[in-house]
Amino acid sequence: MRRYRFLVDDVATPANPDRLPVGFTRHFDPLLGEEVLDITCAACHTGELIATKGGRRVAVRIDGGQAMHAFTDMQRGSFAPTLLASLIATWSNPAKFDRFARKVIGARYPAGKDALHAALGDTVVAILRRGQNNPLRHLYPVREGFGRTDALGRIANTVFGDHLVKGNYQEAGAPVSYPYLWNIWKFDWVQYNGSVSQPLARNVGEALGVGATLRMTNTHGGPLPASERFRSSVMIPNLATIEHTLQTLQPPRWPEDLLGRIDRPLAERGRRLFERHCRDCHGPHPAGAAEQAAMAPLKREPGTVWKIEVIPLSHIGTDATAATGFLERRYDLTAAGLDRQEIDGLLRPLMQRELVRDTRYRLSAVVDGRRAAGLEADALAAELETYPLPGAGEPATVPAARFAAIAALLEADGIEAPHTAPDDPPDCNLDCQGAHLAWNVVRGRGEIDTELAMLDPAALSEGRGLNLLGLLVKRRWFEETGADARTRECLEGFGTLDLPQEIAGYKPRPLEGVWATPPFLHNGSVPNLYEMLLPPEQRSVRFPVGQRDYDSVHVGFRIDLPDDGEGFWLDTREPGNRNTGHGFTATPEMLERHHQDPRRHPLPPGVIGPLLADAERMAIIEYLKVHRDTPATPAGFQPPSCLARVAGR
């Protein structure tokens, strides 16, 4: 397993007596009546760096980091094709199968040998029948290789192709690196394209994508009876346990004894450069109390919602394939019985709750802003005083009379609703908040109607399709377990609503611990942090991926080692692998014009900052080794658990 870059400890432990690789686990499957081998989040979200000290190679485990295996790669010699070939050989070779049966059946051998042989054959056939495993379909034209997978594309092909209709298989040519996980529970949006907000939605989608059972049609391809639809093997209490644990995950600390001492004066110079050139995008940007309450009402600790702005492709300039593919692919869910009426019933209450929550936040911001500016705010403050709080008790319908009253107060002050949705910059001032509030109370309900009318169950985008499926799977589980509203809120993650976001861009996540997560950019197309700060045309065109030996100077995996024949070469000239964008190449004249009037003089596409001197690059790199995102999660932090509520039902 180590050859395939899985992490295997040298010594068995009470928690892992079988020495399974990190992230592999066993559990009892009640449908099979047997224990089964499975994977969990840690398989793809645990990294390792190799340092050299005193002539010895020392492994540094990065919990929550990026894995370096090629789990989904279908090239000959990779893990999945080799496993399938081994299963076929075991089934077809009597001597080989006999050895296998003795180990599996144990004391019952040979009584269960024939049944085991049939079950193994069924498993092989089931794997071969999965259309996305068929190399003749060419669904994944860009090799994923080590440390990457086309996550959202594979999830969609699994649930909408394997589980629904073959016509839903879509080409997915945008592999992305396994993202690192510390602090993501604070983000308002996750995934590289910032498309998912709710923790349980993120985890249910992942579980469905990696093999949870889900029967969506009958044997003739028609919808199941209403009482049987969208029942799955997703273990929601287990996902709650994993998410609870994830919230205690701390970012890694640079191990100076293994990777080298920090040059503190150089790091301080790098900090000043980071504040000037990087902080605006990478933050973090904690939401204020009113906005946090609107997004995640069960988060009681201040500073635990971090606002993540998705940067448009036209600005960031990085490889567009992942972002555009997510927006352009379409899926037909009608075979599962989904129609416009059901879509409306699922989404309208959530959209209305989102509108009600956002209106309260905007109202609070306008009241605070007017008072700070010395303007009259008593009438709006009176509306705020009796406005429903976000959470399980909030209305799932829009309070029309209240919205009309707020609109009248705004109109009396000369604030009219804009005709198009206003921009929402991170520094939304009083005028900006007033425009949003007026838009919400005057045009918000109509916007919901328009958006719902555009959703066609026979042609849903990837984001909407996955969102609706997740909602239906969760609803089935909640109904069958009798979970009340408070329990649902808790399990879903701090009362966060499950509505997707679809923007052609990528999110710039906060950067604490980034030193431990090479290679860089969403598609892993830049081998180290030094090259991230170079003009894009000076970055490596091809480099090897698969070895973990660490370069603590340039901060990334070494790319100068002899080819061991077991990794792969990432070619950045291929679509999906481009290493463009995120360029520090602006001239002083460009920057001066841009700072004077950003709208009239935007930076060229892909340019985000000035051309840096080499000494400046090294200073920023030194700082990123010790950078801390604040506010930090306190050591020993234990978030509230939802499991007691589930167990008590």
DSSP conformation letters of 545-573: ES--BEETTTTEE-S-SPP-SSSEEEETT
pLDDT at 645: 64
Give the pLDDT score at 126: 87
Q: For 144-170, write each residue's pLDDT tens digit.
A: 999 999 999 999 999 999 999 999 999
Domain count, the chain: 2
Q: Which domain holds residue 123?
A: 75-139
At which of 398, 431, 456 does a domain end?
Answer: 456
- Final residue in a domain of this structure, among 412, 436, 456: 456
Residue segments in the chain with a per-residue pLDDT below the cut of 50: none
Confirm whether 307 is domain-assigned: no
> Residue 41 domain-assigned?
no
Dist CA 484 CA 392 (whole Å): 9
Looking only at Cα atoms, what is the longest distance across the chain? 88
In a domain, 131, yes or no: yes
Q: Is residue 363 domain-resident?
A: yes
Task: Report the alpha-carbon distance of residue 191 to residue 323 in Å, rounded.
Answer: 11
Q: What is the pLDDT of residue 648?
A: 52
End-to-end CA distance of the chain: 41
pLDDT at residue 646, rounded to an integer: 65
- Residue 298, both tokens: 């069960």
Structure tokens belonging to residue 522: 């969403």
Pair 66, 178: CB distance under 8 Å: yes
Taking each helix axis from N to C end, the angle separating 199-209 and 462-481, rounded to the nearest 10 degrees, works out to: 100
Note whether residue 211 is domain-resident: no
Residue 374 in any domain: the answer is yes
Angle at 534 between CA 533 and CA 537, to 5 degrees: 140
The Cα–Cα gap between 106 and 104 comes to: 6
Question: What's the pTM value of the predicted model, to 2 decimals?
Answer: 0.93
pLDDT, residue 137, reads 84
Asked if the structure places residue 39 within a domain, the reply is: no
What's the pLDDT tens digit per position in 123-147?
A: 999 888 887 777 778 899 999 999 9
The reply to whether 106 falls in a domain is yes
The per-residue pLDDT for range 185-205, each reduced to its tens digit, is 999 999 999 999 999 999 999
End residue of a domain, out of 456, 480, 508:
456
